[in-house]
Structure 1
Amino acid sequence: MEEITTEKGFKKNVIDKLQNEDTWMSLGEAFLKILIIMAISNIIIRIGKVAIHNVFKLRNLSPLNKSERREETLAKLLDNTLTYVVYFIAIMMVLSVLGIDVKALIAGAGVVGLAVGFGAQSLVKDIISGFFIIFEDQFSVGDHVRIGEFEGNVEAIGLRTTKIKSWTGEVHILPNGSITQVTNFSLNNSIAVIDIAISNGEDIDKAQKVIEDALAKMPSQYEQLVAVPTLLGIQTMGPTEVVLRVTAETLPMQHAAVTRMIRKDIKSILDEYGIRVPSAKFVMLPDGEK
């Protein structure tokens, strides 16, 4: 009988609360506060992102700007950080509106976080390393780097991991804490080295003059070239050939493509002027001789 009475009393209390105007007023007020909190949070995030990107646009116009890719990486990182911080504050305010003790919740989360932290030291190490990679400008998105045994273009840099895509298409995901040594090929211009073999007996002075004239025209043909390529002179001499060496300063990581283009153009100009390149010679021995 007591259980039935208790159950009836509970149902009566629920019905009374649902029929009470103050209850619906409180619910409506809480719902309105939550809507206002979420709307203000979205506005703050949008204004903050616009401000962040405008700051970096002004920096890009400055003559002191060094790396647009680094600034893009930092802008994305700040966008994400702003979003996380604002949403965290908004969620805490919503919980407070719903009558949940936020202080006790934060204190409990701190104790749990401390316990988890002892078992997640590698995660903390990855995050700290990620901050240093970005703010020290060790490398940025789009750079060509070598990290340990992996080499390729940086696809993404996060606070915990870095993604590198090799030229054959594989994507390597590396924890930032494991990155101890980096070779960045994109910070400075590259140098292309081209060796040109001339058949022994050809007029070397004529060959050099022809090659130098061709090199002088190349910067207007190839935008990857930073300056006029330089003919250094004779590199080696062999029984059938004389090797001339050409060097060219190119944009970062463009040396391989420039090497192929310069070699093709010089081969065509040498053929045009009748300057021979060395060719294999075969000697036929009479039967029985070795």
Structure 2
Amino acid sequence: MRLDLWLRLVLLLALVGVAWWAAGKIHRLCPPGLDPERARRLEALLSLGRSLLRALVLAVAFLIALDLFGLNLGPLLTGAGIVGVILGLGAQSVIRDLIAGVVLVLEGPFGIGEVIHAAGVGGTVERITLRATYLRDADGTLHAIPNSMLGVISNLSRDWARVAADLPLPRATPWEHVEAIRSEAEAAMAQDETLAGSGRGPLTIAGVEGISETAFVVRFEIPVHPAARWTAARRLRYHLIRAARTLEISPIHRQEA
């Protein structure tokens, strides 16, 4: 009888291991060919489902193990229900996190791989569980934020982004030269291999942002793909300065402007 019990336990452990492994592979159910938005939402939903399935596997395995040892589950389940009510009253924040996690996945304000700002930190979404969302910032630090504490969420990876750069110029600079700087910089960005696939639009002059005794500050803007916003911002500043110097115009230091 004892040998039969151990064989059943070994079989139970094997089944738990297989179920755990299968739950870890659930993300492969994402079909190819989906648009990026739907793919991110589905991946986030599958990540949440993986956590739920693994928790369910452990709970069922625990109950089966108790039954194998001959324990009466009726009183145990009744007592567990009472304890669950007590724990629920004392763990309301955990319950809020779980509910918030489900709502986040269903509404889809962000997905895995997107860059967001939430709860005072920003980074790339690496994982979404029932309890928390995990962000990796630019320094490599991993932030675990409880889902109920995300608050206002700013998504930097949706649809499109606008990059702006300010260029301080001598006050005597004719406006025709400003237009020439824009044209020169726009042509240079079109040939910049670093910006290939950035989905950029036309470079425009937003207007004059400030005036001092010696200079005025001109703001240039260009729409780009969200993922390219940081690279595009650096390259835009570079090409604006280079275009100004090509036209023999010396940009003013910002302190002087």
Q: Which band: TM-score by shorter chain? A: 0.7 to 0.9
Amino acid at match of 1:152: G
User: Any idea what the Cα deviations from partners look like across 1:81-136, whole Å, max 9, x if unmatched?
Assistant: 22222232223222222212223322221122122222222221222112212222
Residues 164-216 of structure 1: per-residue CA shift (max 9 Å, x gap): 55556766544333344322233232211123344344454355235314313
Q: Partners in 1 of 2:177 and 2:146 — Cα distance?
A: 57
> Identity rate of aligned residues, in percent?
22
Matching residue within 218, 228, 237 for 1:263: 237
Q: How big is each residue's C-alpha offset from its partner over 1:55-87, in whole Å with a ceiling of 9 and x where there is no partner?
A: 21x1x4224x41544443333322222222223
* Distance change in 2, residues 1:209/1:99 (3 Å): same
Aligned equivalent of 1:212: 183
1:188 corresponds to which letter in structure 2?
D
Give the equivalent residue in structure 1 for 2:95: 124
Q: 1:263-282 to 2 correspondence within 5 Å? A: 263-277=237-251
Mean alpha-carbon deviation: is it higher for 108-117 or for 171-180?
Answer: 171-180
* 1:246 equivalent in structure 2: 220
For residue 146 of structure 2, what is the aligned residue in structure 1? 175
Contact 1:195–1:244 (CA under 8 A) maintained in structure 2: yes
- Pick which of 202-211 and 267-276 moved more: 202-211
* 1:143-154 alignment, distance < 5 Å: 143-148=114-119, 150-153=120-123, 154=125
Partner residue of 1:226?
Answer: 199
Looking at structure 1, the residues matched to 181 and 96 of structure 2 have their Cα atoms a distance apart, in angstroms, of 58
Equivalent position SS for 2:37: coil
Please tell me the residue identity of whatever aligns with 1:119: G
Secondary structure in structure 2 of the residue aligned to 1:86: helix
CA distance in structure 2 between the aligned counterparts of 1:243 and 1:233, rounded to whole angstroms: 11
Query: Number of residues paired by the alignment?
Result: 250
User: Residue type of the partner of 2:200?
Assistant: A
Gaps of 5+ in 2: none
Provide, for residues 211-263 of structure 1, a one-character-per-residue CA deviation record: whole Å limited to 9, x for no partner: 31431341442137322442337536766445543211123264344233212
Query: Which structure has the greater CA radius of gyration?
Result: 1
1:225 touches 1:248 (CA, 8 Å); kept in 2?
no
Aligned partner letter, 1:226: G
Residues 29 and 165 of structure 1: is their aligned pair in 2 closer, same or farther, counting only changes over 3 Å? closer
Correspondence for 1:62:
34
5+ residue gaps, structure 1, are: 1-25, 281-290
Secondary structure at the aligned position of 2:116 is classed as strand
Give me the whole-angstrom Cα distance separating, in 1, the residues matched to 2:150 and 2:162. 27
Q: Residues of 1 paired with 2:14 and 2:159: CA distance?
A: 46
Return closer, same or farther for 1:157/1:44 CA change in 2, 3 Å cut-off.
closer
